[in-house]
């Protein structure tokens, strides 16, 4: 009994000791420890009940000394928010900057005005990549570029490995914003290279790695809203990534990487909301039609009203989920802004059944408010959705199309429309595949608004690098001055080349995509790029061979040769006899007869031996 | 006389009999999987919207394999066309394998390694044999080693010994067989489970000759594989019968399932699949009834528990002081433990030692790379040839005696 008592005491002592052992250090948020990560969401209602959403993510890496090679003994790499996949890629390919664009859809410039962020973050329909690579010569630069494109194709699940010499151009004046970059080795040069895969399919597999590069990885903050189902249901969406190397000017010669990631989408709000209730866009029942009462209205007639102009839009309805929380580790909290017309629109932030509003319609998601963890919701209300904050007018409208018919030649027609009072100076960049054999001598400028037009007035500078078959695309770069209030049309002709049998893609009859033309609008005084826009891509139909013909020819020829040979052989070798004759011959010289003879021989020899 | 005629034949047959076996089991019969990692190669080979079901097949397998634990870094997904974000798709970003739309196969986190025009015969063979240029990214390579179990699934349109890639080119069953042999010689797999869902699928594995490959095909030669059902809203068929019933079985599997591949094969009946499913087991060492589903579809490793592991650091210190460091280390040497357990599996009696020595020469040949299968095949053909010749000779000697006699008397 004393023993059991002793055990009890021992037990309690032990428990006490164990309980005291729980003074482990707590993991909490040290308020002074912040990481460089900014995320912002801008909502801008557009005319026609459309909505533009712009997600912006900005990150910075820890500083490094470019003079110290990453292979040296003392080198170490320290990552906080910056994705770990990028710096080794930049280091191994000597890349100072690269810019990647995944865009899909049509940006309606007439209704929506300028592209977001001055067009600098949007690409053409498909995938576009350009980078600034440091190398000793052009060949080495191309090797680094190829390595970069291949690595990015693995990272972003995109077919960037198809980027080769026949798709890469070295832009002269376009993409000038990518020119200011540090050079780590004075004996080498920086080379700007650009390639594009027009109309490359863009889907969730491109979005997934993008989200995983960001530190929140889709689990909290604004990245929790990024969902392929909603993003790719929009009228226009663009995913872009910009990585640049920035070196500080002070004496410590340290550099760091900066990453800017954007996701922009323009959706039609009523159809996006309707998809939540009716996944398939079916016609409405008669009961749910909104009919115009002023016009004849009965069970057989209904003049539908246009889309309602009042709205109470919740972000959680649009994305089927609220924003989980603000990011928990950044310098500045997550920011949501609404660029709305203050007279008819209001913007509120809703969290834990509390509605907040601010004077400038910008909200910061600090996590003190989100105590229940139910997330943040953003509410846009309007009494008249036709009143939106004014869209920035586009400096120049450009449209490009193919002309001509037939399988051996065609033309390209680019139309510029300048609505402004001042002339617009722009750089027109075009990269055409080698099988589009351009005749620059057929270049013509015409106008419906001005007569007495001279080509030199419009195109002030021309750069043309001819294509080399399978080696280089045709590279056109024109500096153009479009007069005020004018319509200028530029046309030129080309011949279509024939490709080799194995060069045709599996669905050759679909046609071949031609890259979009890139237009960089320069400011009139300083010649700095102000706005960037791209035309649409073009689908060129080349003459495609009938791929079944080799098989057909072989079969037909072999059949005919077989028939001829067979007929001749029969005529020469065979003899027609009657059945009785045949039997007699067979009896005396057939296979059975020979075998019998052989057997007789063997048996006879045996018999003779016995005898 | 008849018996006298037959006797040499019998003796000949008996002499040749030991050499006519095709299977040479080199090691003792293993019953548990000893792989350390699992990989999956999932290939869809068809283009165009009306082949939606092939994409859905592959994505269903992708989802299964991912659900059971194989990470994206060990899955190579090859989708030959984009259906999720196709403008014809009424549900952008979604791919369904059933008209009830219960599961969205595309989901939120999908990584496609080869898409669109990248899915070609050349890239597939290069992937299996790992022959790439130095620029090729690691995420698109099959980085397997000799301890990897690989699940290879192919679907599309196929025929007699071929599979159509993107409506433009074909891969022959001999090509895949040769690629697997290269993989065997380079020690790039421990076991391969090859599943193919096309028309006349069983012909695709008929030419394999490398060991440790288990193959299943959805239909015999001259037989078509059928789609299961169409979705009116999507407008095309959404899944094939074979894959549908495969998934029917696999959806009930989780990581600690003890069901075997034989259970999977038993669930395939002609009434459900409308075609004869074929299984090829002769190249595979283990019996399908011993192979767990999770050996190929999940990322489960067999763990040998170290029974004599100390419970805590204090225990280690205490025991070390008590019995001495050397003794403690000896008792707790994991390497020794692993070797011990290994020896348990291969308990050798005298006969085993004898057969081991006898078979060691075969093993040597295997290492050098000589074709074991062809050696056995030639032995078989020699046996058959000999028998055939003997039978002809006997036929000549014994047949048609009456007619010969008649001729003799006639003349």
pLDDT score, position A158: 94
pLDDT score, position A181: 80
- Best to test chain B binding among A103, A203, A225, A227 (most B CBs inside 10 Å): A203
**Pairwise CA distance, residues B208 & B96, whole Å:** 33
pLDDT score, position B10: 61
* CA distances, A11 to each of A7, A112, A184, B237, B318 (Å): 6, 76, 67, 69, 21
The Cβ of residue A556 has, within 10 Å, a number of other Cβ atoms equal to 10
- Tokens, residue A219: 């689990």
Tell me the residue ranges of DSSP E strands in A295-435.
311-314, 334-338, 345-351, 354-356, 362-365, 376-382, 397-403, 409-418, 424-432
Whether A378 contacts A350, CB under 8 Å: yes
Helices and strands (DSSP H and E) totals, chain B: 14, 12
The residue-averaged pLDDT of B19-27 equals 44
The residue-averaged pLDDT of B286-293 equals 92
Given a cut of 90, whether residue A24 has pLDDT beyond it is no
Whether A389 contacts A44, CB under 8 Å: yes
pLDDT score, position A235: 95
What φ, ψ does residue A444 adopt, rounded to 5°? -135, 140
Whether A455 contacts A485, CB under 8 Å: no
Interface of B with A in 45-104 (CB under 8 A): 47-48, 82, 84-86, 90-94, 101, 104
The residue-averaged pLDDT of B312-336 equals 63
Is B408 an interface residue toward A (CB < 8 Å)?
yes
Whether B253 contacts B259, CB under 8 Å: yes
- Tokens, residue A222: 């604004």
- Tokens, residue B131: 């022959």
Given a cut of 60, whether residue B410 has pLDDT beyond it is no
- Tokens, residue A436: 């589009």
**Chain center to CA of A269:** 23
Q: Rounded mean pLDDT of chain A?
A: 88
pLDDT score, position B311: 57
Q: By C-alpha distance, which of B117, B128, B261 is closest to B183?
A: B128
Most confident stretch, A327-331, B8-12, B236-240, B332-336: B236-240
Check CB contact under 8 Å for B137 and A159.
Answer: no
**Which chain B residue's Cα is nearest to A226?**
B108
**How close does chain B come to A231, measured CA to CA in Å?**
9
Whether A95 contacts A89, CB under 8 Å: yes
**Pairwise CA distance, residues B215 & B173, whole Å:** 12
Whether A239 contacts A157, CB under 8 Å: no
Q: In what order do the strands lie in the sheet with B169-172?
A: B157-159, B162-165, B169-172
**How close does chain B come to A202, measured CA to CA in Å?**
7
- Tokens, residue B314: 């204090």
pLDDT score, position B9: 57
DSSP line for A244-293: EEEE-SSTT--EEEEEEEEEEEEEEHHHHHHHHH-SS-PPPPSTT--B-T
* CA distances, B65 to each of A456, B152, B250 (Å): 64, 11, 10
Given a cut of 60, whether residue B26 has pLDDT beyond it is no
Nearest to B166 among A209, A227, A506 (CB): A506
Of the pLDDT bands very low, low, confident and very high (cuts 50, 70, 90), residue A332 is: confident
Is B384 an interface residue toward A (CB < 8 Å)?
no
List, for residues A81-101, the tens digit of each pLDDT value: 999 999 999 999 999 999 999
Is A141 an interface residue toward B (CB < 8 Å)?
no
Given a cut of 60, whether residue A65 has pLDDT beyond it is yes
As a whole number of Å, the CA-based R_g of chain A is 37
The residue-averaged pLDDT of A343-369 equals 87
**How close does chain A come to B396, measured CA to CA in Å?**
6
Check CB contact under 8 Å for A229 and B233.
Answer: no
List, for residues A362-415, the tens digit of each pLDDT value: 999 887 766 777 889 999 999 888 888 888 899 999 999 999 999 999 999 999
Whether A255 contacts B133, CB under 8 Å: no
pLDDT score, position A354: 87
List, for residues A192-245, the tens digit of each pLDDT value: 999 999 999 999 999 999 999 999 899 888 999 999 999 999 999 999 999 999
Given a cut of 50, whether residue A15 has pLDDT beyond it is no
The residue-averaged pLDDT of B291-306 equals 84
Given a cut of 80, whether residue A610 has pLDDT beyond it is no
Is A557 an interface residue toward B (CB < 8 Å)?
no
Nearest to B136 among A150, A155, A602 (CB): A150
Query: In A99-203, which ranges are continuous DSSP H helix?
Result: 109-112, 138-156
The residue-averaged pLDDT of A5-15 equals 50
Give A32 or A468, the one with higher predicted confidence. Answer: A468
pLDDT score, position B25: 42
* Residues of A whose CB is below 8 A from B407: 596
Give A300 or A146, the one with higher predicted confidence. Answer: A146
Given a cut of 90, whether residue B228 has pLDDT beyond it is yes
**Pairwise CA distance, residues B240 & A270, whole Å:** 36
Q: How many CA atoms lie within 13 A of B373 on its CB side?
A: 12
* Residues of B whose CB is below 8 A from A279: 90-91, 101
- Tokens, residue B388: 């055939």
pLDDT score, position A570: 94
Q: What is the DSSP letter of A390?
A: P
pLDDT score, position B354: 52
Share of chain B above pLDDT 90, in %: 62
Given a cut of 80, whether residue B371 has pLDDT beyond it is no
* Residues of A whose CB is below 8 A from B116: 159, 200-201
pLDDT score, position B30: 64
- Tokens, residue A582: 């045949």
List, for residues B54-105, the tens digit of each pLDDT value: 999 999 999 999 999 999 999 999 999 999 999 999 999 999 999 999 999 9
pLDDT score, position A374: 82
pLDDT score, position B316: 61
Whether B227 contacts B41, CB under 8 Å: no
**How close does chain A come to B307, measured CA to CA in Å?**
26
Whether A412 contacts A494, CB under 8 Å: yes
What pTM value is reported for the model?
0.80
Helix (H) or strand (E) holding B193: strand B191-197
The residue-averaged pLDDT of A578-601 equals 87
Given a cut of 90, whether residue B283 has pLDDT beyond it is yes
pLDDT score, position B403: 52
Of the pLDDT bands very low, low, confident and very high (cuts 50, 70, 90), residue B366 is: very low
Apex A24 CA angle, A18 and A29, nearest 5: 155
Whether A322 contacts A378, CB under 8 Å: no
Instruction: Measure CA of the first residue to CA of the last residue in chain A; give whole Å.
Output: 116
């Amino acid at each position: 009994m004393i023993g059991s008592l002793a055990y009890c005491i021992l037990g309690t002592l032990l428990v006490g000791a164990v309980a005291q052992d729980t003074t482990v250090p707590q993991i909490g948020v040290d308020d002074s420890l912040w990481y460089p990560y900014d995320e912002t969401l801008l909502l801008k209602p557009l005319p026609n009940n459309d909505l533009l959403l712009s997600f912006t993510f900005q990150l910075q890496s820890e500083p490094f000394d470019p003079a110290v090679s990453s292979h040296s003994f003392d080198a170490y790499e320290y990552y906080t928010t910056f994705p770990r996949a990028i710096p080794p890629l930049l280091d191994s390919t000597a890349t100072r900057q690269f810019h990647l664009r995944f865009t899909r859809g049509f940006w309606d410039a007439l209704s929506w005005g300028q592209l977001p962020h001055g067009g600098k973050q949007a690409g053409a329909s498909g995938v576009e990549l350009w980078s600034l690579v440091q190398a000793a010569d052009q060949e080495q630069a191309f090797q680094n570029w190829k390595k970069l494109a291949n690595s990015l194709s693995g990272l972003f699940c995109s077919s960037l490995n198809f980027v080769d010499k026949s798709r890469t151009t070295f832009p002269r004046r376009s993409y000038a914003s990518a020119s200011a970059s540090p050079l780590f080795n004075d004996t080498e040069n920086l080379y700007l290279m650009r390639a594009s895969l027009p109309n490359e399919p863009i889907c969730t597999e491109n979005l997934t790695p993008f989200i995983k590069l960001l530190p929140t990885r889709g689990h909290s903050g604004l990245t929790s809203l990024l969902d392929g189902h909603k993003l790719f249901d929009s009228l226009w969406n663009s995913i872009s990534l910009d990585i640049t190397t920035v070196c500080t000017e002070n004496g410590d010669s340290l550099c760091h990487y900066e990453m800017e990631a954007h996701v922009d989408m323009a959706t039609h709000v009523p159809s996006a909301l309707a998809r939540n209730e009716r996944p398939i866009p079916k016609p409405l029942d008669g009961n749910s039609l909104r009919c115009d009462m002023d016009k004849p209205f009965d069970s057989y007639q209904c003049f539908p009203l246009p889309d309602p102009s009042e709205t109470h839009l919740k972000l959680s309805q649009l994305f089927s989920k609220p924003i989980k929380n603000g990011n928990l580790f950044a310098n500045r909290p997550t920011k949501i802004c609404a660029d709305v017309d203050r007279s008819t629109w209001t913007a509120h932030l809703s969290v834990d059944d509390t509605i907040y509003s601010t004077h400038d319609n910008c909200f910061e998601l600090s996590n003190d408010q989100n105590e229940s963890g139910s997330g943040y919701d953003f509410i846009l209300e309007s009494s008249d959705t036709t009143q939106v904050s004014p869209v920035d007018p586009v400096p120049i409208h450009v449209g490009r199309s193919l002309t001509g018919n037939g399988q051996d030649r065609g033309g390209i027609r680019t139309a510029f429309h300048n609505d402004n009072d001042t002339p617009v100076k722009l750089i027109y960049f075009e990269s055409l595949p080698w099988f589009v054999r351009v005749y620059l001598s057929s270049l013509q400028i015409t106008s419906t608004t001005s007569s007495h037009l001279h080509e030199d007035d419009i195109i002030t500078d021309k750069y043309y690098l001819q294509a080399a078959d399978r080696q280089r695309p045709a590279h056109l770069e024109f500096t153009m001055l479009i007069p005020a209030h004018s319509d200028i049309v530029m046309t030129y002709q080309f011949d279509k080349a024939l490709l080799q049998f194995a060069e045709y893609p599996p669905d050759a009859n679909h046609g071949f995509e031609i890259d979009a033309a890139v237009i960089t609008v320069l400011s009139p005084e300083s010649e700095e790029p102000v706005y960037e826009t791209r035309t649409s891509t073009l689908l060129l139909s080349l003459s495609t061979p009938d791929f079944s013909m080799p098989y057909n020819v072989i079969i037909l020829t072999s059949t005919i040769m077989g028939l001829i040979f067979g007929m001749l052989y029969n005529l020469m070798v065979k003899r027609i006899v009657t059945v009785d004759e045949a039997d007699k011959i067979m009896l005396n010289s057939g296979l059975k007869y020979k075998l019998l003879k052989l057997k007789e021989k063997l048996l006879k020899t045996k018999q003779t031996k016995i005898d | 006389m008849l018996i006298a005629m037959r006797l040499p034949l019998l003796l000949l047959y008996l002499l040749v009999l030991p050499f006519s076996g095709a299977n040479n089991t080199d090691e003792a019969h293993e019953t548990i999987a000893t792989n350390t990692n699992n990989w999956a190669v999932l290939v869809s080979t068809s283009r165009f919207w009306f082949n939606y079901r092939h994409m859905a097949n592959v994505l269903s397998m992708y989802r299964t394999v991912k659900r059971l634990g194989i990470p994206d870094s060990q899955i190579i997904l090859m989708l030959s066309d984009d259906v999720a974000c196709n403008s014809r798709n009424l549900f952008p970003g979604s791919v369904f394998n059933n008209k009830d739309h219960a599961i969205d196969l595309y989901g939120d986190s999908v990584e496609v390694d080869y898409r669109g025009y990248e899915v070609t015969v050349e890239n597939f063979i290069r992937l299996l044999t790992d022959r790439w240029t130095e620029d090729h990214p690691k995420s698109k390579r099959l980085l397997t080693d000799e301890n990897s179990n690989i699940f290879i699934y192919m679907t599309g349109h196929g025929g007699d010994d071929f599979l159509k890639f993107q409506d433009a080119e074909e891969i022959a069953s001999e090509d895949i067989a040769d690629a697997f042999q290269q993989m065997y010689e380079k020690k790039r797999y421990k076991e391969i489970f090859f599943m193919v869902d096309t028309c006349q699928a069983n012909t695709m594995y008929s030419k394999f000759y490398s060991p440790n490959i288990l193959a299943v095909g959805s239909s015999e030669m001259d037989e078509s594989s059928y789609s299961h059902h169409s979705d009116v809203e999507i407008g095309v068929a959404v899944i094939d019968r074979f894959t549908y019933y495969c998934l029917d079985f696999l959806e009930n599997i989780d990581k600690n399932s003890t069901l075997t591949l034989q259970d999977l094969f038993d669930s395939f009946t002609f009434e459900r699949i409308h075609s004869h499913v074929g299984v090829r087991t002769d190249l595979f060492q283990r019996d399908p009834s011993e192979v767990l589903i999770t050996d190929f579809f999940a990322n489960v490793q067999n763990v040998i528990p170290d029974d004599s592991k100390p419970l805590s650091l204090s225990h280690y210190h205490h025991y070390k002081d008590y019995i001495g460091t050397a003794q403690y280390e000896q008792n707790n040497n994991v390497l020794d433990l692993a070797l011990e357990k290994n020896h348990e599996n291969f308990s050798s009696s005298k006969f085993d030692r004898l057969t081991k020595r006898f078979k060691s020469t075969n093993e040597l040949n295997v290492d050098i790379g000589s074709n074991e299968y062809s050696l056995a095949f030639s032995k078989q053909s020699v046996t058959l040839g000999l028998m055939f010749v003997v039978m002809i000779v006997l036929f000549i000697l014994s047949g048609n005696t009456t007619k010969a006699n008649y001729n003799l008397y006639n003349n």
